[in-house]
Structure 1
């Protein structure tokens, strides 16, 4: 009986540690693949393998930042209606000591990454440092907190460019920044609407109308710069603009009307139309950029 209880407890801890890494959030690291797609190198086996490694390393780094953030925010998360039940540390499924051991293991794997992709790891170190600053200071500073989240997405795209040794397009940089600012603004909006302001200090310095204006400006910028990019640099991809426009509209609907948006990943995976839009954009982009076709 005791052995069964012990085995059950160990299984619960392992599951909690796995949840602590938030593997579902690795979807965000898909931004690493953007340079591979837009340069047309997605048929190059070496480029694909290098990008996959960069994706794996960034996923480890993202998991490490989640662990650091959850350790820092245990008390704050316990006040959150959802996080208090779903976050392993806040719910008590995992102890801080166990989380710290996991963190050491993740950092150990990232050190190995320096021997595989040293230049990409340079970008990842910047990402890790940025997120430490975010967890301990920047997340409490209005506007800076939103930009910090957005820069994390830009660094993902930059890591993808470094992995295949291509320069990061200025168009891709500004489009990614605007799109990420849009997602971050919507995230803050939903936190304002769905949680008490005591749960996150910075929320006391925002209003829904202010964050809505941030989101509108960022969404407009993302659509404008993406459209200019494809019309000037990749005219064969003009057909993808409606996908981007619909995606922005649909995401806002899912956030405001359906109450999602606090987590972009959850919003994407929970809404079929949004998921189909993303998959459709990827499929049409690959078709347009296929060497035998559009290039």
Structure 2
């Protein structure tokens, strides 16, 4: 069975790995240049040195028994490590959050830099637009945020599209800063501090060898209110907010940049995944369970199990 998966984030890759174990041939399509998605790690060159920033998901936790087993396997492979600063059950990818997605993507066929505009159903099977190979697939899976999944699903499965439209993701403005000396902020993590929903000393995470670097994420409400502001304006505001937590103020950053996540945190529909066995089209993602990395992985596995049962 040939399966196309649109989206090579943790949900799509989890689905792909489980389908491959069941004997399916899987091809993933992703608009990104490489593995990451909302588990992205940005690396910026600094005159021969490098600073890295986990500017998407900050850490992950584990509850599901199968996910616990997967996490321990990743720990043995050096892909994850505990990060007590964020909580007793917090883990991070090493040396960046995207390490987990890169680890999974290495086992799969992924076509990067491929933005899918449409999936088409023909009498012979599914095709992906654009896909220069013209490959026919027996089934297609949409593994993108709900807002991006809806238009791909709508022509073929209106009920699934309606579920996606009903799920709204909160946005998140994120700023990234690097400094040439350690800041006087005593804690490695700040939470719910004014317009800051979360800030972390990224360089203090396990496996990092960076200069002093910080990721500062605005609250969902502030991000929504300032969604169309310029990057410079947002970065200035978040730098000023971070400065209030340093008793000696902040030096001028040697790196300062920002990123706008329009679809950062899904509300969660508690459906697990969606699958139409007759049409052979499905959907997976954290928006179908809960806004956690673990939920995205579980959703992908859940969909793969449904698909394999019907083959």
- When you count helix as a share of all residues, which structure comes out higher? 1
> TM-score, length-normalised on structure 1?
0.29
> TM-score, length-normalised on structure 2?
0.28
- When you count strand as a share of all residues, which structure comes out higher? 2
Higher RCO, Cα 8 Å, sep 6+: 2
